[in-house]
């Protein structure tokens, strides 16, 4: 029974020494002296703010992309015991002792280090020699710009890691396709491809470009499978469903999970609340939730409400009125109704309160039981403080002469009767009998007499003159001009009116609301709103000292100063290895020219290289040239401030192409032994120059040792580079 114990248990393993050595070198190059400098470096001032907000569970919106990358940076802070208490207000600020600098920078550095062995494995899976794969890994290892970017609390190295992991996983899956379909390894690499793609997109939307490339390649490979008569329709369908599950369904589910974790962690009110809807704000702890918690859910006749414009641009604002009237004549000579002003006011104020009145009754209190207002009901809106009725008529608005003026009606005993009936239309209703609900319902108010819709003025950034206290204009807009979010309002604060007497009602309007009815948004509703805000919210583009155009990147005509020591000449710059960048451009040009030459020759039935070498050449181009193109060309279409680091994912693919082209030239164009020897000698000389340039620029890659003024000037190889020289 115990006979198996007579022989020793032996475990054998194959260890790729190249891979181990490359991993160790990658870790040393990225992790050495990671806590230096102990000061805020360039965009750490940007990402650090979000890390602090994560530590304090405070909600925020970052329009640069999804939250997964921010959460990884916050994970580093959490593991290091960071409490979030640091003021990220300027580049170069010294970190206080409570900031775990090494921990915050660790994950980006690890990701950057692991890109080195990933590059090696990608070329091996592309069926190139181990020598070529080693060359690709060493070029990534010695690329100064990739080192700099991975040693700080930034996201590009994490993005590149997941991009390369996705490419490697797909190549391993594809190479298992012929002999191990649906095996454990096959499923592992296919699923890992989808997971890595989702993580890349979750770090930055730039990851979407590589994801789409891999989907296109997978689609092409499946198209070739359809032509294989040895595969049955059942087998093809299984392959299709497996790819759909791993490359579409799982990435989408993971992408949603990033937001789910993000929203679960950030449950407290914060500085970015105001750009979200009232419903979203009310779901956060503190802030608006403290004001709106427990409000009545259903708006009834007699309800006291504040109405917030859903658009929130150029700023959030509430329907507002005050005792002042429109001037009899405007500056341009046009006349007005001289009625009471109605505006959209960007601050909470007692004059934002309105009472929902039944036109057929005089009471301004809620009956018992309450009579809810439904979609299509006709109401009057009475201003709470002045008790005048919301009104519009055929008089031109002050700033929008093609729209109707909106006012609160004053009876001047002239031939201008009140027109104060409004029809409530619930835009997001599920049926035509829906009840108007606090926060949740988005409503339009359609004027019964003129069919105009109550709207916050479309003059973005325009405000009324001094007589209107610079508040935003409200107009009556014809329905024929189409739907716009500025026509939609929602009830933010709500109470049931109890007092018919004006003085008692004014006291009521000044008091907080307190009733016990909760309103919660579903995750999908919060996700859709937050996703839309991320995609549409744009910070004002301002010219940055180190911004650049996409054309500057190819030849590295620009750099970025990341950090400068306050007293010495030590500094850190985002600068690439000049030899590597130039070689990458030459490799891309050679690949393109050779490919065109081969295609023309093949069209004429002339085959310069064997068919397997041609297929190898094409598959490498799909990954490397395709990866470069999809990660670079889209920037020419983007209207955003661009920096050199945006080019790094594209550059990584271009670097992988260098040893591919070199091996191809050696194998198929160096026919004689002499040519091969000369070519090998040139490669050794070229790689030595790569290493020398890496060493030359290491002081501004790592920030030490400190360089003299003369040494700094010697590093300015291009006039367009901004090397910082202190005045003596």
What DSSP letter does each residue of 546-568 carry, written as one string? Answer: T---HHHHHTT---EEEEE-SSS
DSSP 245: I
pLDDT in tens, 521-568: 788 988 998 998 888 876 555 567 888 899 999 999 999 999 998 888
pLDDT at residue 203 tops 50: yes
Measured CA to CA in angstroms, residue 712 lies from 218, 429, 698 at distances of 48, 66, 12
The tokens describing 691, both together, are 């290493």
Among the listed ranges 412-421, 584-593, 622-631, which one has the minimum average pLDDT value? 412-421
Cα separation, 106 vs 100, in Å, equals 10
- Cα atoms in the Cβ-side hemisphere of radius 13 Å centred on 179: 2
Please, which pLDDT band fits residue 697 given cuts at 50, 70 and 90? very high
pLDDT at 541: 52
Residue 464 and residue 456: Cα distance in Å, rounded? 12
Rounded CA separation 407/337 (Å):
9
Range list of H helices, 633-702: 648-668, 673-702
Q: How far apart are CA 165 and CA 698, in angstroms?
A: 27
Q: Which of 391, 386, 377, 408 has its CA nearest to residue 300?
A: 377
460, pLDDT greater than 90: no
Predicted confidence at residue 542, as pLDDT, reads 58
pLDDT computed for residue 198 by the predictor? 97
Closest residue by Cα to residue 186 from 242, 145, 227, 250:
242
Q: Is the pLDDT of residue 379 over 90?
A: yes
pLDDT at 513 over 60: no
588-620 confidence digits (pLDDT tens): 999 999 999 999 999 998 988 899 999 999 999
Mean per-residue pLDDT over the chain, rounded: 88
Burial (CB count <10 Å: 0-12, 13-18, 19+), residue 105: buried
d(CA 173, CA 191): 9
Listed in sequence order, the residues at least 6 apart from 652 whose beta carbon sits closer than 8 Å to its beta carbon are 115, 119, 140, 146, 160, 163, 164, 627
Contacts of 396 (CB under 8 A, 6+ apart): 334, 402, 403, 404, 405
Residues in the chain: 728
Q: Mean per-residue pLDDT for 256-268?
A: 93
CB 183 within 8 A of CB 176: yes
Between CA 495 and CA 662 the distance in angstroms is 75
CA 2 distance to own-chain centroid: 61
Report the C-alpha gap between 607 and 591 in whole angstroms. Answer: 17
Task: Identify the architecture of domain 296-511 in CATH.
Answer: Trefoil (2.80)
In tens, the pLDDT along 46-55 reads 999 999 999 9
Query: What percent of the chain has pLDDT above 70?
Result: 93
pLDDT of 458 over the 60 cut: no
Write the CA distances from 472 to 335, 692, 714, integer angstroms.
19, 62, 57
Residue 28 pLDDT more than 50? Answer: yes
* Residue 536: Cβ within 10 Å count: 9
**How many whole angstroms separate alpha carbon 284 and alpha carbon 275?**
13
| Contact in structure between 378 and 363 (CB atoms under 8 Å) | no
User: What confidence tens digit (pLDDT) does each residue in 295-345 have?
Assistant: 788 899 999 999 998 887 767 889 999 999 999 888 888 888 889 999 998
Tell me how far apart the alpha carbons of residues 449 and 417 are, in angstroms, rounded to a whole number.
11
Q: CB neighbours of 695 closer than 8 A, spacing ≥ 6? A: none
Q: Give the three-class secondary structure for 158.
A: helix
In the numeric block, the tokens 């329905």 are attached to: 479
- Cβ atoms of 345 and 318 within 8 Å: the answer is yes
The angle formed by the CA atoms of residues 327, 330 and 335, to the nearest 5 degrees, is 80
pLDDT on residue 517: 37
pLDDT category of residue 290 using cuts at 50, 70 and 90: low
Does pTM surpass 0.85?
no
**Whole-number pLDDT of residue 512:** 53
589-593 — which CB contacts under 8 Å span 24+ positions?
A: 590/661, 590/665, 591/621, 591/624, 591/625, 591/657, 591/660, 591/661, 592/625
Q: For residue 92, what pLDDT is reported?
A: 87
pLDDT at 62 over 50: yes
Tokens of 277: 């809807």
Give per-residue burial for 309-322: e unless 16+ CB within 10 Å, then b: bbbbbeebbbbbbb
| Token reading at 528 | 């859709």
pLDDT value of residue 538: 66
Question: What's the average model confidence in pLDDT over 622-643?
Answer: 92
205-223: average pLDDT: 95
pLDDT tops 60 at residue 519: no
pLDDT digits 0-9 by tens, 130-158: 999 999 999 999 999 999 999 999 999 99
What does the CA dihedral 310, 316, 322, 325 come to, rounded to 10 degrees?
Answer: -80
User: What mean pLDDT comes out for the span 207-225?
Assistant: 95
Contacts of 486 (CB under 8 A, 6+ apart): 309, 310, 311, 313, 455, 456, 457, 458
Alpha helix positions (H), 230-362: 233-244, 250-265, 278-282, 288-292
Report pLDDT digits (tens) over 99-116.
999 999 999 999 999 999
Host H or E run for residue 50? helix 44-55
pLDDT of residue 117: 97
Is residue 384 a contact partner of residue 509, using CB atoms and an 8 Å limit? Answer: yes
Spatial contact of 140 and 146, defined as CB atoms under 8 Å apart: yes
Q: What mean pLDDT is predicted for residues 490-500?
A: 82
Residue 439 reports pLDDT greater than 80: yes
Q: Where are the domains of the chain?
A: 27-261+576-669, 296-511
How many angstroms from the chain centroid is the CA of residue 198?
A: 14
């Amino acid at each position: 029974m115990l006979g198996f114990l007579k022989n020793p248990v032996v475990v054998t393993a194959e260890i790729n020494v190249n891979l181990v050595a490359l991993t160790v070198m990658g870790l040393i190059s990225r992790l050495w002296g990671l806590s230096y400098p102990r000061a805020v470096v360039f965009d750490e001032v940007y990402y650090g703010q979000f890390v602090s907000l994560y530590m304090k569970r405070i909600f925020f919106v970052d329009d640069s992309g999804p939250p997964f990358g921010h959460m990884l940076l916050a994970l580093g802070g959490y593991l290091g015991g960071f409490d979030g208490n640091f003021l990220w207000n300027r580049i170069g600020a010294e970190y206080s002792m409570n900031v775990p600098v090494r921990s915050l920078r660790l994950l980006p550095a690890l990701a950057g280090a692991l890109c080195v062995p990933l590059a090696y494995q990608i070329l091996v899976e592309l069926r190139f020699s181990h020598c070529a794969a080693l060359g690709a890994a060493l070029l990534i290892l010695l690329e100064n710009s990739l080192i700099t970017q991975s040693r700080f609390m930034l996201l590009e190295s994490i993005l590149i890691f997941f991009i390369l992991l996705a490419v490697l996983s797909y190549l391993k899956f594809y190479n298992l396709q012929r002999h191990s379909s649906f095996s454990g390894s096959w499923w592992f690499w296919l699923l890992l491809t989808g997971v890595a793609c989702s993580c890349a997109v979750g770090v930055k939307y730039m990851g979407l470009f590589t994801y789409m490339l891999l989907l296109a390649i997978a689609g092409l490979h499946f198209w070739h499978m359809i032509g294989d008569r040895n595969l049955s329709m059942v087998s093809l369908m299984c392959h299709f469903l497996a790819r759909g599950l791993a490359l579409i369904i799982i990435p989408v589910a993971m992408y949603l999970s990033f937001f789910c974790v993000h929203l679960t962690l950030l449950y407290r009110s914060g500085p970015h609340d105001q750009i979200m809807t009232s419903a979203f704000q009310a779901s956060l702890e503190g802030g608006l939730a403290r004001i709106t918690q427990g409000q009545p859910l259903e708006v009834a006749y007699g309800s006291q409400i504040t109405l917030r414009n859903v658009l929130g641009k150029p700023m959030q604002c509430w329907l507002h009125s005050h005792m002042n009237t429109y001037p009899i004549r405007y500056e341009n000579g046009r006349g007005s109704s001289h009625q009471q002003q109605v505006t959209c006011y960007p601050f909470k104020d007692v004059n934002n309160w309105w009472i929902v009145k039944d036109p057929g009754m005089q009471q301004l209190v809620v009956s018992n039981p309450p009579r809810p207002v439904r979609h299509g009901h006709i109401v009057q809106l009475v201003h709470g403080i002045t008790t005048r009725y919301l009104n519009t008529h055929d008089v031109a608005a002050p700033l929008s002469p093609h729209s109707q003026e909106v006012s609160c009606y004053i009876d001047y005993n002239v031939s201008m009767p009140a027109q104060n009936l409004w029809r409530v239309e619930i835009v997001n209703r599920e049926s035509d009998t829906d009840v108007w609900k606090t926060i949740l319902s988005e409503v339009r108010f359609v004027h019964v007499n003129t069919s105009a819709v109550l709207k916050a003025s479309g003059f973005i950034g325009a405000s009324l003159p001094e007589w209107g206290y610079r508040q935003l204009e409200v107009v009556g807009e014809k329905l024929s001009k189409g739907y716009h979010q500025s026509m939609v309002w929602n009830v933010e604060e709500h109470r049931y009116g109890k007092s018919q007497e004006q003085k008692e009602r004014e006291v009521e309007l000044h008091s907080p609301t307190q009733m016990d009815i909760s309103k919660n948004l579903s995750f999908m509703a919060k996700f859709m709103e937050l996703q839309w805000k991320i995609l549409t919210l744009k910070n004002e583009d301002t010219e940055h000292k180190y911004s650049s155009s996409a054309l500057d990147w190819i030849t590295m005509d620009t750099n970025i100063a990341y950090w400068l020591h306050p007293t010495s000449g030590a500094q850190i710059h985002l600068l690439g290895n000049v030899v590597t960048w130039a070689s990458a451009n030459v490799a891309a040009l050679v690949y393109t020219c050779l490919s065109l030459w081969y295609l023309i020759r093949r069209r004429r039935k002339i085959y310069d290289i064997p068919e397997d070498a041609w297929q190898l050449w094409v598959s490498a181009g799909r990954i490397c040239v395709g990866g470069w193109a999809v990660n670079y060309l889209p920037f020419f279409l983007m209207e955003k401030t661009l920096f050199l680091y945006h080019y790094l994912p594209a550059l990584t693919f271009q670097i992988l192409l260098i040893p591919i082209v070199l091996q191809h030239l050696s194998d198929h164009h160096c026919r004689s032994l002499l040519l091969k020897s000369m070519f090998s000698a040139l490669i050794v000389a070229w790689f030595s120059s790569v290493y020398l340039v890496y060493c030359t620029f290491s002081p501004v890659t790592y920030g030490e040792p400190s360089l003299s003024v003369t040494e700094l000037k010697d590093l300015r190889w291009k006039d367009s580079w901004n090397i910082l020289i202190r005045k003596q």
